[in-house]
Structure 1
């Protein structure tokens, strides 16, 4: 059984507006049989944190185009994207690069 994982989630560039305007979130993911990965984290965020308009954050089973994801200050594309296995105390940042006008 994998232990619970504490994460620091940050939302910026307008993405925080989907989370009651709050940029910083400290969350604890519950223990489960297999290690947590980014794909599962996105589902958890949708179920537990996203208040409205999930289509502005996720598309299918990944983040929508235009949202930059950093894991511990590195682009998640270098980390395996959805396959990345989360570690305790990871810092995950979601930054929207889309600006309406």
Structure 2
């Protein structure tokens, strides 16, 4: 497979870091680095480098999403799917929702 078509969704305020756009349809190379399958860890780096318009520290911490961001892979909590090691598949939907709210 030469590429992966993904839907990336940002909610709970996360969209503010991405140009106020909640849904991004993207196409990624199937292998981002070192001939390894594209996984969530590689995707997070790609998002940082290609989509993020706000402060990176509000999205990423220590190579993963920062605490307080819920990640869903095809409507399933990423903890049940292997988190950073989940191998992306064509037409996956990845959702990032901030659970932290100012007051």
Q: TM-score range by the shorter chain?
A: over 0.9
Specify which of 59, 77, 80 is matched with residue 78 of structure 1: 80
Supply the distance in 2 between the matched residues of 1:46 and 1:27 (Cα, whole angstroms): 14
Gaps of 5+ in 2: none
How many residue pairs match? The answer is 100
Answer yes or no: is the 8 Å Cα contact 2:4–2:27 preserved in 1: yes
1:13 aligns with 2:15: no
Q: Which residue of structure 2 lines up, in the alignment, with residue 40 of structure 1?
A: 42
How many Å separate the matches in 1 of 2:102 and 2:56?
17
| TM-score after normalising by structure 1 | 0.95
* Divergent runs of 4+, >3 A: none
Shift of 1:59: 0.4
Post-superposition offset of 1:20: 0.7
Report the TM-score when normalising by structure 2. Answer: 0.93
The runs of 5 or more residues in structure 1 that have no matched partner are: none
Q: 2:99 aligns with which of 91, 97, 100?
A: 97
